[in-house]
Amino acid sequence: MSRQHLDAVAMGILMACCAAWGVNQVAIKISNTGITPILGAGLRSLVATLFLMAWCWIRGFRLFNRDGSLGHGIVIGLLFAGEFVFLYWGLVLTTASHSVIFLYTAPFFVAVGAHLFLPDEPLRARKVVGLALAFAGLWLAVADGLTFPTRRELQGDLLELIAALMWAATTVVIKRRTDLRLTPQKTLFYQLAFSAVVLIGLSLAVKEAAITDPRPLVLAAFFYQSVLVAFVSYLAWFWLLAHYPASNLAAFSFWTPVFGVFAGGLLLGERISPLLSGAVALVAVGIFLVNRPPRA
């Protein structure tokens, strides 16, 4: 049964997912020191696919039954893979702070896409204001790292914006096909399996594929990305997409970079901006406005 507003259970799961995704940015930085980025993303999808298949076999969920969803699965798998290609490619050209700002325009694209293609999710003024406040909070969280972009960084920023569009498109496409035949498990399987093939193939094609330093810390960071993020948290996210409004869920993703700033300071010793408390307040108020039920 689909709900029109987020309840306490959904908010709790979302906060846990955002915390996991925020720490994931630290894990990616660590694993990139020993595994080349596109290969790492592909291997992450591959390992998560194997865990998902094992879990579905234990629980009795069928992944390979004929239900007419293969074309849909190819689309979301390619969108997912494309998002990570543009994300990593953009990070080669631009800074992490610029990347965060442009990548997290995705909730705006989700809100517009939901308004156009999902009849139950109209775009109201209150939701626009909430998204704007949450985005302002994101901007404050990374303000110390923002600089006027060079031409090279502008190219990277454009790639990050394309990644955001693909992320949003994936969310809206999945939400349009939340029927009983296409379960959250199968949705995640399509994304992971197709992205594993595309990303590993691309890393081999551009001769980027290499595991240069498989020390325990690198492997632990890779395990975190593969199992806790790509398997557990993504499965929870797709279950939420099947039951709650896409634009309301996407707004919660603004918490992810805030958690990422905290994680970078605590785990990597990176400087935490003094503006972070204001950022947290703006994100909280913005998400409250997005998810506040309209008055009768």
The string of pLDDT tens digits covering residues 256-293 is 888 877 787 777 776 777 776 777 788 888 877 777 66
Mean pLDDT, rounded, for 164-183: 80
pLDDT at 293: 62
Contacts of 179 (CB under 8 A, 6+ apart): none
Mean pLDDT, rounded, for 224-236: 94
pLDDT at 87: 82
Backbone phi and psi for residue 206, each to the nearest 5 degrees, phi listed first: -95, 10
Q: How confident is the model at residue 222 (pLDDT cuts 50, 70, 90)?
A: very high
% the chain with pLDDT above 90: 22
**Which segment, 25-29, 87-91, 171-175, is predicted with the most confidence on average?**
171-175
CA nearest neighbour of 122 among 132, 135, 131, 111: 111
Contact (Cβ atoms closer than 8 angstroms) between residue 42 and residue 196: yes
Contact (Cβ atoms closer than 8 angstroms) between residue 102 and residue 78: no
CA 56, 74, 163: angle at the middle one, nearest 5? Answer: 105
Identify which has the larger pLDDT, 86 or 120: 86
Q: CA–CA separation, 137 vs 139, rounded Å?
A: 5
**Which segment, 26-30, 108-112, 123-127, is predicted with the most confidence on average?**
108-112
Q: Which two tokens stand for residue 125?
A: 């003024």
Tell me which of 21-30, 37-46, 260-269 is least confident: 260-269
CA nearest neighbour of 239 among 290, 182, 195: 182
pLDDT at 179: 56
Q: CA–CA separation, 198 vs 193, rounded Å?
A: 9
pLDDT at 219: 94
Backbone dihedral region for residue 182 (phi beyond 0: left; psi -120 to 50: alpha; all else: beta):
beta
CA dihedral 88, 89, 93, 95 (to 10 degrees): -20
